[in-house]
Amino acid sequence: MAEGLEEWINDSNEVLNLQLVRTPLDTDLLQRQEEQLVEEFNPTFTYPIFGDSEKVFGYKDLDIKLRFASGSLRQYLEIKYNEKLSSETTPADDIEATLYKFIPPDYTKSGVEFKLRVAEDAEKFKPLGEKLDSYIQPSLKGKGKRGDRTTELGNKEDAVLFEIYKANWNTPGFREYHRRMQLFILLFIEGGSYVHEDEDAWEFITLYERRQRPETGVYTHHFVGYISVYPFWCYPDRVRLRLSQFVVLPPYQHQGHGSKLYSALFQHMLARPEVAELTVEDPAEAFEDLRDRNDLRFLVKEGILDNPMLLVGIGDGKRDSRNEWERSIRKKYKIAQRQFDRLLEMLLLRQLNNKDPAQIKAYRLHVKARLYRFNYEMLCQMTPGERKEALAKTYQSVVEDYERILDMTFG
């Protein structure tokens, strides 16, 4: 970069400001603790749009506002700056042309038109597809704790209902709707990319907040996040469902919605006889933690800790009966092999008597045997001494991570 031009460089993660917009009436219904739902937030990543450097060149005091109607996700673009570089040799970036490649062409640059769209969509927009599940959270003005459940779903005007829907390309209107929401994949998932619409089998699970306007029968819906999954053929006549994308928008994060969304997918998958198992494509660490916590709670709820087979064949090499039990449980709950192995190891660690050397040794041998099988190609190239040291280090790292996850899950 030529000398003196640094002042024209902007961090695209900081200058791109996103916002989920409600009508003034619906915004006024929010409690003070809920104001973050309509405040601006920034993307985590912008390199798919603005390049690896995540910079926008040629402007001073740049502010790129990309606003979404909170339910329909129809978009409004506003680009503001105090000064734009006028140079033929080093021209300013064409921001709108860059964004145009990634957002639907029906966005507006008129604030008046956008307000009218928001008002219209607030009453007319309804989630697309088939409803899978719902759950309720008290409004933050109430005395109930966040996440408490009630049987009076939707009957209290101060309650907030969340609804989960499933859709695919055949769902009327969903293809167009997906083109609006898919931008969040680029902005919040590292390495995320758009799915190909010509791949017909994609399935989507979407999550919405539903609010009732006081003393009316009007319900408004507000987008929270979504999952995309793809079914692959699994011999001989079933499918393996692969979770490809998972996003909950920042205003709704750290409130339990990710777990609700994942659990809805998991239960939906269990209810489908053609699905053999659920796998995950290149999970981020935060999602892996969420998945682990929910899978662990599920297995505990199913009573696996009370099953005497949980402790059979640990560390003694006699695994025939245990292998058969593990296969039957894994098949029943449709959990991928490596994930299932990890879950059982975590639950065994939770049950471990740290004052019993024999139990500790048996557990260590059990985990190391699995690690050896998983890393066989790398370990077989080492000397016995190197292999022993590598397994010991890996085992220690794995156990420390298990303890972290167990503490998050069960306290």
Kindly list the catalytic residues: 281
Other C-beta atoms closer than 10 Å to the C-beta of 124 total 9
Provide the residue count of the chain. 411
Q: How far is CA 96 from CA 118, 352, 404, in A?
A: 22, 59, 45
Q: How far apart (Å, rounded) are the C-alpha atoms in residues 280 and 377?
A: 23
Cα separation, 362 vs 316, in Å, equals 7
Which candidate, 96, 46, 45, places its Cα nearest to that of 75? Answer: 96
Q: What angle do CA 251, 253, 254 make, to 5 degrees?
A: 130
User: Bridge partners of 134?
Assistant: 163
Is residue 283 classed exposed, middle or buried when 0-12, 13-18 and 19+ CB atoms within 10 A define those classes? middle
372 with 380: CB under 8 angstroms?
A: no
* Burial (CB count within 10 angstroms: exposed 0-12, middle 13-18, buried 19+), residue 312: middle
CB 220 within 8 A of CB 181: no
Which pair of tokens denotes residue 213? 């306007």
